[in-house]
Amino acid sequence: MQSSEEMIIVERLLSEKKFKMTGVRQMVIQFFLNHRGHYKPENIYQHLRKQQMSLASLYRTLDVLKQINFIREISLNNINYYELLMFSSKQLHIHFYCNQCQRVIDYHNETINELMLQQSILLEKNYHDDIQNFEIVLNGLCHRCKEG
Ligand SMILES: [Zn+2]
Ligand SMILES: [Zn+2]
C-alpha cells in the first residue's frame, strides 16, 4: 500500500495522541480516503472483509479515528454512520436522512452554513460554552423513495 501525503498527516495526528499506525488503522484510513460517503461499521467491515480484521478491531479503530477528528460519527435512529471529516471540504453541512431506505445525503447551502456559524458564535457568547460540533439532521422521504 503506498503511503500518501494524507496518510503521513494522519500518522502524525495519531502519534500526537499517543496512538500508533497499525495495519488495520491504515486500511480503515485508506477506506475513508477512497470512499466519501456515510458508512455503517458493517458496510466498512464487508468492504475490508478479505483483509485480516475483526469487527471488534474495526470498532476500536473507528473510535480512535473519531478521537483525532479524522472521521465523524452521525447517530440516526440508534445507528452510527461514519464519514470523512478531515481532507473534506464539506466540514459544515446538513444531513438528510431518508426514513424509508435509510440513506444519508449531504445538503449544501451557503446561507444556512453562514447562519449556523453566526448563531454558534452568539450562543457561545450567551452561554459561555465552547461549541465544537454542530449537527443538523433533517429527515423524510428521499427523491428515489418518493417516486417509487
Ligand atoms: Zn429513500
Ligand atoms: Zn455528511
Query: What is the per-residue pLDDT for 91?
Result: 65
Query: What is the per-residue pLDDT for 99?
Result: 95
pLDDT tens per residue across all 148 residues of the chain: 445 888 998 999 999 999 999 999 999 999 999 998 899 999 999 999 887 789 999 999 999 999 998 999 988 888 899 999 887 665 678 899 999 999 999 898 888 877 887 888 889 899 998 777 777 899 999 999 999 7
Which ligand sits closest to the CA of 142?
1
Query: What is the per-residue pLDDT for 86?
Result: 80
Which ligand sits closest to the CA of 141?
1
Residues 6+ apart with CB under 8 A from 43: none
* SS3 of residue 18 by DSSP: coil
Query: What is the per-residue pLDDT for 90?
Result: 59
Nearest to 17 by CA among 82, 81, 64, 86: 64
Query: What is the per-residue pLDDT for 45?
Result: 95
Nearest to 92 by CA among 83, 103, 80: 83
Nearest to 44 by CA among 97, 9, 8, 30: 30
Burial call 13-26: b when 16+ CB within 10 Å, e when fewer: bbeeeebebeebbb
Domains delineated in the chain: 1-87 (1.10.10.10), 89-148 (3.30.1490.190)
Which ligand sits closest to the CA of 146?
1
Query: What is the per-residue pLDDT for 140?
Result: 96
Which ligand sits closest to the CA of 38?
2
How many angstroms is it from 90 CA to the middle of ligand 1?
22
Query: What is the per-residue pLDDT for 1?
Result: 46
How many angstroms is it from 98 CA to the middle of ligand 1?
5
464519514: which residue's cell?
Answer: 83
C-beta atoms surrounding 9 within 10 Å: 13
Helix (H) or strand (E) holding 143: helix 143-147
